[in-house]
Amino acid sequence: MLRHENRAPRVRPGGDFAAKAAVCPFCDRKVKIDYKDFLLLSRYISTRGKIESRQRTKACAKHQRSLAQAMKRARFLALLPYASSHIWKTGGVGLPQSISRRS
């Protein structure tokens, strides 16, 4: 009664091009995250001025939490901006100045 007895084994999707396990760049290089290192922190801010997610930064949970905390401290001390530069230039989030200043 076994119908599937003669079938070939299934091949995993992706084959030779399977995804590699993500390695945390902070664990890999043993970098200590500091709120005063604004050059390092600015690499992990999006174009909108938001903190990048773990999927984009490839950081482990421990380092993502410390990265977010360091960014918040740097913003509080005015080492990093709360909003990105293009938001300051346009006067709003993606809106021209004439529209954003009407209200």
Domain ranges, residue 45:
23-89
For residue 18, tell me if it sits in a domain: no
> Would you say residue 96 has pLDDT above 90?
no
Q: What is the pLDDT of residues 62-86, one digit of tens each?
A: 999 999 999 999 999 988 888 877 6
49-52: list long-range contacts, CB under 8 Å, 24+ apart: 49/81, 49/82, 49/83, 49/84, 49/87
Q: Is the pTM of this model over 0.85?
A: no
**What percentage of the chain reaches a pLDDT higher than 70?**
69
For residue 6, tell me if it sits in a domain: no
For residue 101, tell me if it sits in a domain: no
Please, are residues 57 and 50 in contact by the beta-carbon 8 Å criterion?
Answer: no
For residue 53, tell me if it sits in a domain: yes
CATH number of the domain bearing residue 43: 4.10.640.10
Mean pLDDT of the chain: 80
> Number of structural domains, the chain?
1
